[in-house]
Amino acid sequence: MKLVVANLKMNKTKEEMIIYKKTLEENIENNNLIICPQDIYLDFMISQNYKVGAQDLYIENSGSYTGENSPDALESIGVTYGIVGHSERRKHFNETNDFINKKIKAALTNNIIPILCIGESLEERELKEEILKKQLEECLKEITGEIIIAYEPIWAIGTGKLPTTKEITEVISFIKTISKNKVIYGGSINLENIEEIINLENIDGVLIGGASLNPNNLINIFNKC
């Protein structure tokens, strides 16, 4: 069974989350499904039926950091995963590899498994191995614990465009020559393309944005994994 990470991003009201949780709990009982809702719903979403991940976390456990989320506090409510370095955080909040490296360390110290996102932009596509290597080396500096690496080409996120299966397999193999961790793919995964992608032999799972917003759609995707 491969991992399925659902990144709900900044979506859904409390009412919608109540239905989302109920639908999942009626249909799923599996630790390979990881739901990453907005922070305000993390505590509410904790369940025996699936795992819960934060969409981001801070580098310190406490202090005067208005608006941030403490990895220690996340652990205390039962969050077990944390996405770090998503391209939207890199783009809108200027997150650097060095800062992401600190987040990975903070997560691991608090028993949260980091899901590190890396990926190239369209302009960088020809040079992607160089770009990915730099992201990995800088983000994983002095890191020894278990992490998950999500390969997410920026141009494939929310666009309906995917790399070929050959490209995905090659990139995953390349990442695995640099890091011995699990590698998942993210970017425009949906019910139509999931089987082709999830059956690639070296892939350890998928990260799903848009297609995870409808819980029934997510369940249908998950059941093919």
Residue from the set 8, 51, 188, 197 that interacts with ligand PGA by CB under 6 A: 188
CA distance 115 to 149: 6
* Residue 86 known to be catalytic: yes
Match 């917003």 to its residue by tokens.
213
Least separation, in Å, of the C-beta of 1 and ligand PGA?
A: 20
Write down the catalytic residue from 26, 29, 86, 137: 86
Task: Find the binding residues for ligand PGA in span 98-157 (CB under 6 A).
Answer: 152, 157
Least separation, in Å, of the C-beta of 107 and ligand PGA?
A: 18
Single-letter code of the amino acid located at 197: I
Cβ pair 20, 1 in contact under 8 A: no
β-partners of residue 26 are none
Least separation, in Å, of the C-beta of 186 and ligand PGA?
A: 4
Residue from the set 18, 122, 137, 158 that interacts with ligand PGA by CB under 6 A: 158
Who contacts 93 (Cβ-Cβ below 8 Å, separation ≥6)?
Answer: none
Residue from the set 208, 218, 221, 225 that interacts with ligand PGA by CB under 6 A: 208
Tally the residues of the chain. Answer: 225
Residue 207 touching ligand PGA (CB under 6 A):
yes
182's tokens: 């699990």
Residue 187 touching ligand PGA (CB under 6 A):
yes
Best CA proximity match to 211, nearest among 52, 9, 2, 3? 9
Q: Are strands 33-36 and 113-118 parallel, antiparallel or unpaired?
A: unpaired
The angle formed by the CA atoms of residues 105, 110 and 114, to the nearest 5 degrees, is 55
CA distance 101 to 98: 5
| Closest to ligand PGA by CB, 49 or 217 | 217
Least separation, in Å, of the C-beta of 4 and ligand PGA?
A: 12
Radius of gyration of the chain measured on its C-alpha atoms: 16
Site track for ligand PGA across 5-44, x = CB under 6 A: --x-------------------------------------
Residue from the set 59, 189, 203, 221 that interacts with ligand PGA by CB under 6 A: 189
Least separation, in Å, of the C-beta of 148 and ligand PGA?
A: 13
* Residue 92 known to be catalytic: no
Helix (H, G, I), strand (E, B) or coil at 186: strand
Residues in contact with ligand PGA by the rule CB under 6 A = 7, 152, 157-158, 186-189, 207-211
By annotation, the residues acting in catalysis are 86, 152
